[in-house]
Amino acid sequence: MGIIEKKYNQSAFTQQIVCVLLFLLCFTNEVKAQTDTVRKDTIFVDFERLDPVLVSGSMDSERQKQYRILKRRVRKTMPYAKMASYKIRAMEDQLSTIKGRRARKKYIKKCEKGIKAMYTAQLKNLTIGEGKVLMKLIHRETGKTTWDIMKNYRGTTEALLWQAFGSFWGHNLKLEFDPVSDYQIEHIIQIEGLE
């Protein structure tokens, strides 16, 4: 029995050494082959733009679909949010130099008329979901909800009217951007370079 076990241990040891040697031989041949020849099936990946959320296996297909929809909405509405932020800052700078309530109202109406002329046709085609994302992005860019903006420039009565009208379609003018709960939006902005 002792001789059989000894032969068995020697043959198992020999098999392990042979496996290791074969592995090393294959590995060195593969390394040599890679250095000697140029592979033509190489795929270059831009890791800066790679979206790890979609690549990771943590999302099921339904969540990936929802994420792609959100990504499309953010890409579509972010330019409008940036433009709104720019226009509001410019308008507030100009309003700080204007004296008199009547002149301020006249300037606000003039700005509103210009903005409506430029963007009404484009913004009419937004879906309800895109509108919600746009309101969150406006809050992110300006620090003010659409309710606050409406109330400051158009008055509380008109803001209440638009809030009632919006709630009929599922909107809320007091919608805020929260970096914790809206982490996917923030991630999309960073990964797409929309900042």
Return the structure tokens found at 165: 């009208």
Residue 4 lies in a domain: no
Residue 23 lies in a domain: no
Range of the domain at 113: 53-192
Quick one: pLDDT at residue 23?
53
Residue 37 lies in a domain: no
With tokens 């085609």, the residue in question is 125
Q: What is the tally of structural domains in the chain?
A: 1
With tokens 């000697």, the residue in question is 36
pLDDT digits (tens, 9 = 90+) for 103-161: 999 999 999 899 889 988 888 889 989 999 999 999 999 999 999 999 998 889 999 99
Q: With beta carbons less than 8 A apart as the criterion, state whether 135 and 175 touch.
A: yes
Residue 104 lies in a domain: yes
Residue 116 lies in a domain: yes
E strands present in the chain = none
Residue 38 lies in a domain: no
Residue 41 lies in a domain: no
Quick one: pLDDT at residue 193?
85
Distances (CA, A) of 143 to 38, 41, 122, 124: 53, 49, 24, 24
Residue 24 lies in a domain: no
Q: Kindly state the helix (H) or strand (E) to which residue 33 belongs, with its residue range.
A: helix 2-36
Q: With beta carbons less than 8 A apart as the criterion, state whether 163 and 173 touch.
A: yes
Widest distance between CA atoms in the chain: 110
Model confidence at 60, pLDDT cuts 50, 70, 90, reads: confident
Could you tell me what percent of the chain has a pLDDT over 70? Answer: 70
Mean pLDDT of the region 35-46: 52
